[in-house]
Structure 1
Amino acid sequence: MKIGELSRRTCVPTRMLRYYEEQDLLHPERAENGYRAYEASAVYRVQQIRGLLDSGLTTEIIRRILPFLTEPDEIHVHPECLTEETAALLRGEADRIQQRIECLARNRDAILAYLAAVRPDTSPPDGVGGPGARVRGRPYRGCTRWDRQSAYGRRTRDGR
């Protein structure tokens, strides 16, 4: 399939697909006329890439782990394939994601506390905040600039 069809099937702009190729995440064949030719499996691969980007991973990390992802919930890695450098990078990324989760939870609690204060009739989801819930500290403490920007719909590192 050509790049336009892959774009339609995945709802990812052609420009972004070219970027994935530049980042060595996609590997299309080239037809005699120079057009990119994608296998049907590229649809799944693009969906994987989008999911990983949406979860906050960088293209560098995705490039390193993508060869080991076969199914949505399966990772096949032989221990000898995981270098210390990649393992350290993944540990750092897991720590960064945990910090982001904590930041998002604080922001959620702050929003729910605000709603409870201004609209007492609003009930939060079970186990989250509640009437009279108090928020300690600033909601953004521990958040990176990228988290703050993405919270307001601004562009993030990967241009999303």
Structure 2
Amino acid sequence: MRIGELAARAGVSVRSLRYYEEQGLLTSTRSASGQRHYTEAHVERVTFLQRMYAAGLSSRTIAELLPCVDSPSETTSDAALERMAEERERLSAHIEELVRTRDALDVLMATNRAHRAGLSPTATV
């Protein structure tokens, strides 16, 4: 199948597929005229890549995890699990920072509300 059909079947843009190829996450064969051609297996591959992106993983991290998919073994499985654990820790730290930031904003909003409540109706312009 050609790139447009793969995009439609996988529910992604053609641009995304080209990006995946640039990042080494997806490969295609080329016709004599240079058109990309894909197989049924590529639909599953793109769906898998989308799940990885939805989990917050970067292209680089996904590339590090693909050996577990492409050449499954205990070694690649262990390495993938370790890498995903690292990513989970990174996300947890980011979530904690976002919670702290939200809490700081809540304090500012409470201060603003208290200040606003203290303004007399004639003081507003």
Shorter-chain TM-score range: 0.5 to 0.7
Distance 1:21 1:93 in 2: 23
What is the aligned length? Answer: 104
Aligned to 1:139: 102
Indicate if the aligned counterparts of 1:3 and 1:36 stay in contact, CA closer than 8 A.
yes
Question: In the alignment, which residue of structure 1 is the partner of 2:73?
Answer: 77
- Partner deviation per Cα, 1:101-127 (whole Å, 9 max, x = no partner): 5568x5xxxxxxxxxxxxxxxxxxxxx
Matched, 1:18 2:18: yes
- Letter aligned with residue 77 of structure 1: S
Structure 1 distance, partners of 2:45, 2:17, is: 11
Unaligned stretches of 5+ residues in structure 1? 107-136, 142-160
**Pair 88,76 (structure 1): closer, same or farther in 2 beyond 3 Å:** closer
**What does the per-residue CA deviation read over 1:82-102, in whole Å, with 9 as the maximum and x for residues that have no partner?**
66xx78754431211233555
Deviations 1:32-87 (A, max 9, x none): 111000011101100110110111011111112123237xxxx943227866xx78
- With 20-29 and 87-96 compared, the bigger mean Cα shift is at 87-96
Two-structure CA RMSD over aligned residues (Å): 3.0
For 1:66 and 1:19, the matched residues in 2 are separated by: 16
Q: Tell me if 1:96 matches 2:90.
A: yes
Q: Could you tell me whether the CA contact under 8 Å between 2:21 and 2:27 is conserved in 1?
A: yes
Q: Which has the higher helix share?
A: 2
Identity of aligned residues (%): 33
Match of 1:27 in 2: 27
Which has the higher Rg, Structure 1 or Structure 2? 2
The equivalent of 1:115 in structure 2 is none
Alignment of 1:4-15 (within 5 A): 4-15=4-15
Q: Does 1:55 align with 2:55?
A: yes
- Structure ranking higher on relative contact order (CA contacts 8 Å, 6+ apart): 2
Which residues of structure 2 form unaligned runs of 5+? 105-125
Report if aligned partners of 2:68, 2:76 keep a CA contact under 8 Å in 1.
no
